[in-house]
Amino acid sequence: MAVTLREIRESDLENIMRWRMDPEITKYMNTNPKLTMEGQVKWLASIRQNPDVRYWMILVEGKEAGVINLTGLTNPDGDLGWAYYVGEKSLRSIMTALSLEMSMFDYIFDELGKNAIYSDVFTLNQGVIKLHLLCGGEIVGEKKNHITKEGVSYDVTFTRMTKEIWNSIRHTKKYEKIVFPEV
């Protein structure tokens, strides 16, 4: 399964808006937004101007599938945050997820020279937490009732991968290498 990344285009915004408002996606995210195309255009302009973030469109077999991003690029400690989702259900697979995650580690440690990457995941999203652990990540904390949306509180689990750990285990991992182009 060929997975590639590219810069987000204005023509992607309708798909991104649809995915981001899909209850199957938002149930694991900090907000349940009510998005508009006007707001999406402003969002795209803002991320293009923000040196602290990078966003890419995920393509699976050439089809738009989802979004992956990095935050904290200007953090002087060299620690980043990241997240992604595959909005197109038919294009989801464990192989895509593994390749995205482990290729992200290669990119941030080898190309960007960063020290660690963190992810915060709703604790009820055990599939993603297990995926992070399978890729070699470690759980570094949990906050009870950390996020409240629409009157419901959610526990959040925090995971981390460090450059040191990744360098010691990457030779044991098999995944399709994905190139992270400059945006």
In a domain? residue 178: no
At 22, which CATH number? 3.40.630.30
pLDDT, mean over the chain: 95
What's the chain's length in residues? 183
Is 13:73 a contact under the CB 8 Å cutoff?
A: no
Residue 70, domain member (yes or no): yes
Tell me, yes or no, whether 139 lies in a domain.
Answer: yes
Q: What is the pLDDT of residue 171?
A: 97
Q: Let me know if residue 98 belongs to a domain.
A: yes
Q: Which of 65, 121, 64, 129 is nearest to 92 (CA)?
A: 65
Query: Is 21 within a domain?
Result: yes
- The predicted structure's pLDDT at residue 148: 96
The SS3 assignment for 140 reads: strand
183 assigned to some structural domain: no
Confidence label for 183 from pLDDT (cuts 50, 70 and 90): confident
Rg (CA), the chain: 16
| Per-residue pLDDT reduced to its tens digit, 57-114 | 999 999 999 999 999 999 988 899 999 999 999 999 999 999 999 999 999 999 999 9
- pTM for this entry: 0.94
179 lies in a domain?
no
- The total number of structural domains in the chain stands at 1
> Is 181 inside any structural domain?
no
